């Protein structure tokens, strides 16, 4: 099973979707996604004193410009093990503007099963201290991988939904042969071309 392609299509909708986790709160080992196998692989190990501020993961059945599923930061109070499936709602988008040019985008997703975070509907409702910790960690991680961020911007739900729609359409076109005009009626029917 490749989690990127084999998750049921109806589990990935704009208003609520299933994320598979990669990195756990407090982890210093950063895992990345391998599209060919559908597994996680060790990308790098950070400073033992600086752990991840949030759980992170990926959205199956989406495809970014980099040819990988959408990355997401999970708003959830509990550390979650890698490859856990989590029902989430979109809250916003984080855009890292890189010093060497280009951007890195991460969805902000609230875990539906977390009583505190499931009530968070907008980026503005994320406590300031939590946002600052997330920015500090993202800046640190970008330094470790040699792609420093010049600035980090939080965008709202509308931008997150647009990003999701583009990446969902790219996935459908690339892996299912569904063109945008054929569109959403076929989404529940689609199966990736192997």
pLDDT tens by residue, 5-62: 999 999 999 999 999 999 999 999 999 999 989 999 999 898 878 889 999 999 999 9
What pLDDT, on a 0 to 100 scale, did the predictor assign at position 189?
46
* pLDDT beyond 50 at 194: no
The rounded distance, in Å, linking the Cα atoms of 98 and 163 is 18
Please state the rounded mean pLDDT for residues 96-108.
Answer: 97
Which of these, 111, 38, 37, lies nearest to 76 by C-alpha position?
A: 111
152-176 confidence digits (pLDDT tens) = 999 999 999 999 999 999 999 999 9
Per-residue confidence (pLDDT) for residue 51, from 0 to 100: 86
Mean pLDDT is lowest, of 3-17, 43-57, 78-92, 119-133, for: 43-57
What is the SS3 string spanning 6-42? HCCHHHEECCEEEEEECCCCCCCEEEEEECCCCEEEE
């Amino acid at each position: 099973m490749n989690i990127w392609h084999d998750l049921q299509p109806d589990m990935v909708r704009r208003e609520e979707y299933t994320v598979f986790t990669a990195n756990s709160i407090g982890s210093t080992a950063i895992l990345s996604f391998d599209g060919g196998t559908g597994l996680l692989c060790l990308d790098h190990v950070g400073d033992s004193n600086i752990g991840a501020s949030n759980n992170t993961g990926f959205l199956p059945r989406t495809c970014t410009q980099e040819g990988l599923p959408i990355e997401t930061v999970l708003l959830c109070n509990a550390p979650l093990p890698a490859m856990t499936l989590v029902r989430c709602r979109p809250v916003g988008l984080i855009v890292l503007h890189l010093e060497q040019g280009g951007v890195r985008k991460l969805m902000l997703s609230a875990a539906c099963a977390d009583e505190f975070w499931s009530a968070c509907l907008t980026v503005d409702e994320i406590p300031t201290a939590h946002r600052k910790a997330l920015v500090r960690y993202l800046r640190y991680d970008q330094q470790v991988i040699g792609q420093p961020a010049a600035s980090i911007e939080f965008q709202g739900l509308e931008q997150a939904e647009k990003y999701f729609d583009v990446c969902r359409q790219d996935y459908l076109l690339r892996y299912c042969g569904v063109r945008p005009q054929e569109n959403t009626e076929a989404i529940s029917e689609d199966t990736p071309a192997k």
